[in-house]
Every structure is written in C-alpha cells, then in structure tokens.
C-alpha cells in the first residue's frame, strides 16, 4: 500500500478547467468523489475540485471499515444501500482497488452494560433485516477462538459487514468518475462561490471561474470554514485521531472464511490487503480549541457528554490547520485562500497513542507479539453536534448543497451518501428519509440528539 498522502505526493488528476458545468463538487474525499460519480451516471456535466490530492486527508486515513453495525438508525438504510454498492463497485467500474471484502464486524463486550447497549441497538434495528446477532461468552469461545482471555461476557456480530482499502479505493473511484466525463483537478482550490440574486451561479477557483447550476460542499474538516466565508452557518468541529498499520503478519481467525473487523475496549483491528493490520484505539481524540469551539460549544454539549473521557483539548491548532487562531474567516475570490496555504492536512500522530497500539497488539493478540508497526498517521475528522452527516441544500443559499460531517464513519457509507446527494441535487427523491440530516436542524430549534456511542 502507498504511504500516507502529503503535499509532496505527485498530482494524478489534472484535467483542464471547464468554463461551465452543471455541478461543481468541492472536495475529492469519499463523499465528494462518490457524489461526482453518481451525478455523472445521471448525465450531469461535473467538475470535481480538490485543493490538494484526491483522498489526501481523512478519506484515506480512516480504518477502512464498511460497517452497518451500530449505525445511527437514520443512517442505517443508506449504509445498507452503501454495502450493496460496495459489493458491485469493482465490477461496475473495472477498478479492482474498489474490492469489498466480507469479513464481518465483531464488537466485544467486557460488561453486561455493554451487552445491554448492543441489545438495545439491535432491538431498534431489527426491522432492517440485518444479519446482526448477539453472542454469548460461549459463542465467542466457540466461533472466535483467537479472541484472547476470559474477560469478555459476549459480543455482537454482523457477518455481512466488510472492509476496503481507503488508500487506493477513492482514487480508483475518481478514475471511474473521470471515465464517465467528470473533470477531476487536484491543486485546484475553490476559493468562494459566485452568487447572483441570492443563488449560486458559479465558483471561483484558484485557476479561474466556472459557471454552474449547483455546488456540493464536501470539504470535510474545511467545510465549515468555506461555509462561513459565503455567509452560511455550518456547525462542525474537527478532532485529530491516530491510526497505524503493521507489517505483514499471520491471519487471525483462520477458522473463519475471512478475518472480521474487531472492536474491543481501546483496541480496534482490521485485516489489510497487504497482509498487515490497521490499528486504532478508538478511544482517543485531540481537539484544538478555536473560535468555532466556543461559538458551537452549547451545540456540542450532548455529544461531549457521551465522549468527554476520550477527548484531549489543546490550546490551539498549528498554523494553517482548519480553525487555527488567526486563520481568516473572510476572503474574496481574488485572494489566496486558507485552502491553498494547506494543500494536504497531514497532522502528526499522537506519540502516546502509537505506543498504546504497539503494546495492546501484543497484549490482546499474543500470536501477533513482535509484529512491528510499519507506519502511523493521523487525520482530522469533521464532526457535527449530533455525530451524523449534514446533507442537503442550504435554505440560506439556494444552489449550495452540503455534504459533510461524516463524523469518522464516512468511508463505508460514502458511496451511499454519494448516490443520495446526486439525487438531491437533481431534485429527485433520495429514496430514504433524510430529515435528520438537513442543514437547518442546528438553527431551527430542533433538539440535538447524538447518534449511538457504540
């Protein structure tokens, strides 16, 4: 697998800038790229602009899980569809890097309280006919003999879940979109929108102006800052999370057709196509305080209440990071934007987290003791106050569609989100109830209800 993208990664997509398109998509992560792909399938002329590199930020830095299990119930129908899309993407696009590997998703429980949360979620999700089931202690010992020790009281498993390879999958989807006619351009930041009579009529990029009928803002951790500049209030904050990968190592759970993604207390593991494992603790996030931290503090209170033990606060972000103190909040189309000053956001991993991963790998899976970490990295995750995405046309600015805030679980659901967004842009029925995700929910007095913390 290639190393984590940085500003020195060569440009791979450099199509000519069109003068006019139907839709401009800002941000070539999983959601933006998938949206462009499905818009092109529907006959739209699309420009996909990326300030740095396709999937250069969080979309290539995630765990690679394609997970229906433990989803927010409003997300679940889209995720079920996304699971189906993933299964056919390699064949549909001719891109083998879009392979879906079905290994399942296994959550372990060390207490009856955890089991009760799993049971409560499953009770609510039964109407979706998933193959999820609860596991007893005896089930774990019989079916998953590589689960170490006797400290587990049970678990939950969804065999139809799986995994993909974020490093290579999203650029592969961008190639497929380009074959459908999408213009894909890296090193091309969209600075601002061109607005007339209160409606979007185009964008101003660093390479020139492009006319369009609609814009999809899918810029991840940068989305809220872009929105502020065009007068749209988009509550969202960013957290830094650390991930690592190992060198090639023996396969766990050889009694099964494939290795499941496993979530344990403070340790999550996914088998990789290169024979190693992607590792994360899943219990540590760093947040850099910024003006938006204080502006949106009350909106995030409920989400923070569920996860405050996992969050470490820092006085301020390094220069150039989204929301760093001193970052401008307004700029014009003829000025260099913050997006050009930080082509690829490549935060340093948290050293203590890397040490925890090294230690816990040997502790949790003794058969992997001595396996070395090949690489560690971090990503900045865009999080909303209710920890579910913001999707839809913003009522303040017609023609501006928002697709952001995937809150750390966007890789798996990304293709489904892209299909939904494509139909929303075209004024079609998205096929799912997307009321929970509407952009105005944080402005109209609606109660903020965070998704499941599982």
**How far apart, in whole angstroms, are the C-alpha atoms of residue 448 and residue 276?**
39
**How far apart, in whole angstroms, are the C-alpha atoms of residue 267 and residue 241?**
13
Domains of the chain in start order, with CATH, are 23-104+159-442 (3.50.50.60)
- How much is the CA Rg of the chain, to the nearest whole Å? 21
Q: By mean pLDDT, which of 144-153, 204-213, 290-299, 316-325 is the weakest?
A: 144-153
Q: What is the pLDDT of residue 3?
A: 59
DSSP letter assigned to residue 126: G
| Mean pLDDT, rounded, of the chain | 96
Q: Residue 95 corresponds to which tokens in the numbers above?
A: 């891109």
Q: What is the pLDDT of residue 2?
A: 53
pLDDT higher than 70, residue 1:
no
Other beta carbons within 10 Å of 21:
24
Residues 62 and 410: beta-carbon distance below 8 Å: yes
**How far apart, in whole angstroms, are the C-alpha atoms of residue 76 and residue 106?**
17
Q: Residue 226 corresponds to which tokens in the numbers above?
A: 């872009």
Residues 309-329 have a mean pLDDT of 93
Q: What is the pLDDT of residue 4?
A: 76
**pTM across the whole model:** 0.97
Q: What is the pLDDT of residue 306?
A: 73
| Contacts of 143 by beta carbon, 8 Å cutoff, 6+ apart | 135, 256
Span between the terminal Cα atoms of the chain, in Å: 29
**24 vs 409, more confident:** 24
**5 vs 395, more confident:** 395
Residues 306 and 453: beta-carbon distance below 8 Å: yes
* Segment 13-34, tens digit of pLDDT: 999 999 999 999 999 999 999 9
Between β-strands 65-66 and 133-136, what pairing exists: parallel, antiparallel or unpaired?
A: unpaired
């Amino acid at each position: 697998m290639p190393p984590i993208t940085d500003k020195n990664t060569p440009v791979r997509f450099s199509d000519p800038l069109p003068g006019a398109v139907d839709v401009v998509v800002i941000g070539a992560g999983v959601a933006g790229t998938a949206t462009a792909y499905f818009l092109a399938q529907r006959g739209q002329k699309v420009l996909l602009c990326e300030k740095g590199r396709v999937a250069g930020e969080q979309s290539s830095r995630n765990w690679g899980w394609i997970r229906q299990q433990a989803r927010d119930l409003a997300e679940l129908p889209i995720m079920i569809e996304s699971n189906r899309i993933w299964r056919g993407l390699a064949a549909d696009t001719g891109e083998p890097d879009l392979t879906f590997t079905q290994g399942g998703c296994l959550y372990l429980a060390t207490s009856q309280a955890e089991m009760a949360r799993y049971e409560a979620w499953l009770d609510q999700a039964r109407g979706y006919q998933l193959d999820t089931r609860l596991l007893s202690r005896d089930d774990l010992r019989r079916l998953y003999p590589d689960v170490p020790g006797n400290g587990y009281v049970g678990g939950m498993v969804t065999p139809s879940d799986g995994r993909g390879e974020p490093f290579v999958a999203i650029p592969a989807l961008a190639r497929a979109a380009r074959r459908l006619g999408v213009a894909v351009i890296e090193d091309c930041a969209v600075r601002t929108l061109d607005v007339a009579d209160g409606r979007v009529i185009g964008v101003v990029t660093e390479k020139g102006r492009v006319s369009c009928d609609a814009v999809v803002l899918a810029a991840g951790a940068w989305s809220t800052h872009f929105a502020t500049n065009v007068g749209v209030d988009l509550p969202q904050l960013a957290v830094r999370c650390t991930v690592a990968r190992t060198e090639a190592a023996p396969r766990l759970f050889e009694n099964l057709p494939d290795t499941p993604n496993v979530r344990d207390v403070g340790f999550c593991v996914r088998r990789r196509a290169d024979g190693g494992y992607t590792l994360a603790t899943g219990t540590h996030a760093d947040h850099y305080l910024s003006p938006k931290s204080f502006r949106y503090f009350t909106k995030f209170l409920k989400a923070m209440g569920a996860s405050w033990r996992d969050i470490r606060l820092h006085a301020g972000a390094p220069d150039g990071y989204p929301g760093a103190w001193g970052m401008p909040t307004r700029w014009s189309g003829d000025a260099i934007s913050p997006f050009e000053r930080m082509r690829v956001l490549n935060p340093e991993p948290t050293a203590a987290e890397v040490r925890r991963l090294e230690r816990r790998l040997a502790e949790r899976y003794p058969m992997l003791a001595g396996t070395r970490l090949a690489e560690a990295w971090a990503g900045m995750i865009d999080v909303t106050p209710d920890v579910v995405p913001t999707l839809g046309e913003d009522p303040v600015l017609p023609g501006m569609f928002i697709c952001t805030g995937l809150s750390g679980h966007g890789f798996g659901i990304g293709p489904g989100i892209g299909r939904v967004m494509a139909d929303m842009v075209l004024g079609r029925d998205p096929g799912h109830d997307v009321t929970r995700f509407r952009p105005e929910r944080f402005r109209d007095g609606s109660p903020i209800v965070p998704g499941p913390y599982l």
